[in-house]
Amino acid sequence: MKKKSILCYGDSNTFGYRPTDSGRYPYGVRWTSLLAEGLGEEYQVIEAGLNSRTTVIDDDLEEDRNGLRTIDVVLEMNWPLDLIILMLGTNDMKVRYQRQAKDIASGAAQIVREIRRRHQEVHPDWMPRILLVSPLLIGEELRDGMSGFSESFGGARAYEMSRKLAPLYQSVAAAEGCSFLDAGQAARTGSTDALHLEEDGHRALAAAMERKVREIFLNDTAERSE
């Protein structure tokens, strides 16, 4: 039986950034690996997370962080794919980018459309499902200046903006024909920096992702049988 292939395309919370020491959570802790374990042998989960990745913004401080510019290469490295989980937008809230919530949602929409455009161009005979995931909610510690990321994210500004993104992402998903998951309802950032998941957060997000992925493929099977 052919395994269903799932690409997880995101930022540091998909990479598994460990806020206690700026390292990386090992396999078996980060949500992508827990998703793979939960889904079992019928699925292949591909981890494509990168620290500081944005939706469509070029970063002068770190190269190749623009998610739109790199998605084609990642697709070509890994296709054929059955599902792409797209979870970006947190880094767009950094003060130096001066983005508004609607701009961030628009960036996510551009990546969704590029995924479809690229497949139409190279593999018009098949199209992966897309699960659009809205960013996690930024925690109070960052808002109150107690996180190492408080200054770069603007404290209260990013805290409030993160709470505006889920409905905007849900609207994008509806308009673009994607599935949707609100990460802020599924898991919470840890108290260490109020930006990144800690171990319990990875477990919670993995569980929500697994439920959603199974739902997507169940619906896909039902549609194909009609």
What pLDDT digit, counting tens, does each position of 199-208 carry? 999 999 999 9
Q: Where are the domains of the chain?
A: 4-225
Q: Are 46 and 7 in contact (CB under 8 A)?
A: yes
User: What tokens does 96 get?
Assistant: 């130096």
Q: Which string of b and e fits 95-128 if b means at least 16 CB within 10 Å?
A: eeeebebebbbebbbbbbebbbeebeeeeeeeeb
Q: Are 198 and 19 in contact (CB under 8 A)?
A: yes
β-strand partners of 174: none
At 19 the pLDDT is: 98
Tell me which residue of 26, 8, 30 sits closest to 198, measured CA to CA.
30
Positive or negative, the CA dihedral 169, 173, 174, 179 is negative
Q: Are 159 and 140 in contact (CB under 8 A)?
A: yes
Tell me which residue of 46, 49, 48, 68 sits closest to 57, measured CA to CA.
68
CA distance 91 to 106: 14
Q: How many CB atoms lie within 10 A of CB 20?
A: 11
At 60 the pLDDT is: 85
Sequential pLDDT tens for the chain (226 residues) = 689 999 999 999 999 999 999 999 999 999 999 999 999 999 999 999 999 999 999 988 889 999 999 999 999 999 899 999 999 999 999 999 999 999 999 999 999 999 999 999 998 888 999 999 999 999 999 999 999 999 999 999 999 999 999 999 999 999 999 999 999 999 999 999 999 999 999 999 999 999 999 999 998 765 554 4
Q: Which fold has domain 4-225?
A: Rossmann fold (3.40.50)
Q: Are 195 and 143 in contact (CB under 8 A)?
A: no
Helices (runs of H) and strands (runs of E) counted in the chain: 10, 7
Residues near 114 by beta carbon (within 8 Å), at least 6 away in sequence: 68, 71, 72
At 223 the pLDDT is: 59
Question: What pLDDT, in 10s, does the model give residues 167-200?
Answer: 999 999 999 999 999 999 999 999 999 999 999 9
